[in-house]
Amino acid sequence: MDISTLATMLGLSHLLQVVGLSVQYVVNRTYRGIGWWLLWSASVAAGSAFAVLRHHPELRLLSIVAQNWLIVLGVTFLYVGLMRFYSRRVNRPFVATVIPSYLAAHAYFTLVSDDIWVRSVLVNVALAAISLFTAWELRSARTRGTSTSANFLCGVLLLHGLFFLSRSAVILAGARVTDFFSATPLNIAPLLDGFVVGNLLAVGLIILINQRSYTEMVEARDHFELLFHTSPEAVLITRVEDGVCLDVNQGFEALSGYSRSEALGHAMTDLDIYRSPADRQGIVEALKEKGSVSSVQVPFRRKDGTTFVGSLSARVFSLRGVPHVMSVTRDVTEQRRAEEAREESARQIQEWNVRLERRVADRTAELRDANRELEALVYSIAHDLRAPLRAVDGFSGLLERELAGRLEGDGVRLLGRVRRGAQRADRLIRDLIQYAGIGTVPMRPAPVEMGALARRAFDEVAVEEVRRTFRFTVGELPPAVGDPELLGNLFRLLLSNAVKFSLPRPERRIEVSGKREGGWAEYRVEDDGVGFNPEYADKLFGVFQQLEVGAEVEGTGIGLAIAKRIAVRHGGQIRAEGTLNGGAAFTFMLPDPGAGRA
């Protein structure tokens, strides 16, 4: 057998492997490691080419080094590629010690000390070691989905390694190593091995890629099917062209009541699943126009005639070149019902609110009308009552004048009683009108100098002779903002009370004082008059609540009620302190206009 012919054939077969793996490399971009395999086949092919160059005497030594280096490196690349393919770590210590040692030793025994026997031992041991190591590593790296092809590759590598191991043994045992081109069995065997193993490895690698991608595809499909069938939502694949159903999941069976066999091969229109055909038409139109629809709420009919509302999303996709629709439908009947209930209750609350507001407005208007009527009634009564009172007092007055000097003492006194009664009734009526009117007359608030107001009020409630009998003092009073007319009236009421209840006492003192405290401006009118029983302090401010103080004090009993109304109208309050025969103090508080600024 001609060694050169064998080497050439080996080189050509390696070239074919390069072509095959190049195609794999180009086609398959998802897997790592294929590039290294390409490097393996290229290295081995180049090594074969160098083997042929040994014929030239001047290139012989270089060719020997290159050929052996490339062959050993090629197997190393194969190892690295397999590790990469399986995402395993390359055993760096092995690669970093064995490979460089071999390369260095081989170069030494070629270029420095040309010893063919040592070289043969070196290359055989190195190839055996790398092949066996690779087989071993691949065995632990292989996955279940690729075990067949990985086992095949392991077997080939094992044979390869054992071959070189036995060849090493033969050489070590003393077999004569001859020139590469002498056709001894020892020389022919590695070439045949290279030929067979190279092809088997290349085929094995391609099968490995295929097996892995097939396995992964099956897994992906299984995953999808699992997803498809475990989804509680109804998934449906139909052909666009005629609406014929290609696949449904268990979710569809559960939701629609139709079994898979009833649905497959039938058009959706046959199943009569849409309660309104217009809905289906609308979805088909939308799909034609946009390619997808999302969360469309559609009323559906089950096989048993019951209905539900589904939220449907669908997308057009291509299956074997034919447009299909995948739709996913979720039952939202409950959701819809809850939503509707929520909307309904919100609407009802809204309605109640509106009704309530209307009722409040009606009642307020009624109340306002009633108030106005009441007010009109008060004025009308006042008017009507005053005329007869005027007649009583007027004609009694006339009588008094007519009979002047002719009347006995009793007569004068009785007539006086009639007139006083009439006048008192008139005062009552006027006070009542004032009390009723406090709330209705619009206020004209202005800054008020309270000290001056108090002094003027005192002048107004008592004549000079009476005033002279009083020790009247006005302290420093905080300014207020209010209706000057009403506040003046308030002082008049309190001061006239103080004067009135002080008259029976020898010690007549009225002190007006004030202070600012806690956002309030306080004004205090204090006297040493007859006072009152503190038990009744709260009752003082009611209408007609004058306490029994004796015949010498006159009053209608409305004054303090009016005073309170004025204070309250200003956002303030009023309180009374006193003891029986120990004087009284009335304090009214108004919001302090200066409080906000501090």
Partner 1 sequence: MPEPVRILLVEDDEGDAVLALLALASVTPPGSVHHAGDGEAALNFLFGRGAFQGRPGAETVRLVLLDLKLPKISGHEVLAAVRAHPATRTIPVVVLTSSMLPADVERCYRAGANGFVVKPVEFSAHERALQELAEYWTRLNFPSPTWGAEPD
CB of residue 496 to partner 1, shortest distance in Å: 19
Spatial neighbors of 367 by CB under 8 A, at least 6 apart, are none
Q: Tell me, residue by residue from 345 to 384, as one string, x for binding to partner 1 by CB under 8 A and - for no binding.
A: ----------------------------------x--xxx
Residue closer to partner 1, measured from CB, 267 or 441: 441
Nearest by Cα to 494 from 555, 544, 570, 433: 555
Q: Is the dihedral of CA 265, 269, 274, 280 positive or negative?
A: positive
Q: State the amino acid at position 148 in one-letter form.
A: T
Q: Token pair of 301, please?
A: 């009919």
Cβ distance to partner 1 smaller for residue 158 or 392: 392
Query: What dihedral angle (degrees, nearest 10) is formed by the CA atoms of 191, 194, 195, 200?
Result: 160
- Which one among 107, 132, 319, 433 touches partner 1, defined by CB under 8 A? 433
Whether residue 245 contacts residue 268, with contact meaning beta carbons closer than 8 Å, is answered with yes
Query: Between residues 325 and 422, which has the closer beta carbon with respect to partner 1?
Result: 422
In angstroms, the CA 54 to CA 49 distance is 9
C-alpha to C-alpha distance for 121 and 102, rounded to whole angstroms: 11
By beta-carbon proximity to partner 1, the closer residue of 111 and 403 is: 403
Q: Which two structure tokens, joined as six digits, stand for 399?
A: 């009588």
Which residue in this structure is represented by tokens 């080189």? 11
Torsion on CA atoms 386, 387, 393, 396, rounded to nearest 10: -160
Dist CA 85 CA 105 (whole Å): 31
What tokens appear for 336 in the block?
């819809």
Nearer to partner 1, 263 or 432 (CB): 432
Kindly tell me which residue out of 129, 422, 490, 525 binds partner 1, with binding defined by CB under 8 A.
422
Under rule CB under 8 A, residue 419 binds partner 1: yes
Q: Name which of 38 and 558 has its Cβ closer to partner 1.
A: 558
Are 171 and 124 in contact by the 8 Å Cβ rule? The answer is yes
- Give whichever of 186 and 382 is closer to partner 1, judged by the CB atom: 382
Instruction: Indicate if the alpha-carbon torsion angle 28, 33, 37, 39 is positive or negative.
Output: positive
Residue nearer to partner 1 on the CB measure, 265 or 388: 388
Rounded to 10 degrees, what is the CA torsion of 204, 207, 212, 214?
A: -170
Exactly one of 243, 299, 323, 437 binds partner 1 (CB under 8 A); that residue is 437
Instruction: Give CA–CA dist 446/482, Å, rounded.
Output: 5
Alpha helices in 56-146 (DSSP H): 60-85, 92-107, 116-141
Q: In the bound complex, what is the minimum distance in angstroms from residue 563's beta carbon to partner 1?
A: 20
Taking CB under 8 A as the rule, does residue 421 contact partner 1?
A: no
* Residue with Cβ nearer partner 1 (428 or 568): 428
| Choice between 284 and 433, CB closer to partner 1 | 433
Give the x-and-dash track for 378-417 against partner 1 (CB under 8 A).
-x--xxx-xxxxxx-xxxxxx-------------------
- What minimum distance in Å lies between the beta carbon of 377 and partner 1? 11
From the CB of 418, what's the least distance to partner 1, in Å?
11
Instruction: Please give the torsion angle defined by the CA atoms of residues 497, 500, 504 and 510, in that order, rounded to the nearest 10 degrees.
Output: 60
Could you say which DSSP state residue 181 is in?
Answer: T
Q: Does 567 bind partner 1 (CB under 8 A)?
A: no
Instruction: Tell the smallest beta-carbon distance from residue 353 to partner 1 (Å).
Output: 36
Closest CB 434 distance from partner 1, rounded Å: 9
Residues 271-300 that bind partner 1 (CB under 8 A): none
Piece of the chain touching partner 1 by CB under 8 A; list 24-32, 273-281, 331-339, 433-441: 433-441
Point out which residues pair with 447 in neighbouring strands: 481
# of chain residues touching partner 1 (CB under 8 A): 24
From the CB of 463, what's the least distance to partner 1, in Å?
A: 17
- x/- map, 319-348, partner 1, by CB under 8 A: ------------------------------
Q: Rounded CA gap, 83 and 32, in Å?
A: 9
List of residues contacting partner 1 (CB under 8 A): 379, 382-384, 386-391, 393-398, 419, 422-423, 426, 430, 433, 437, 441
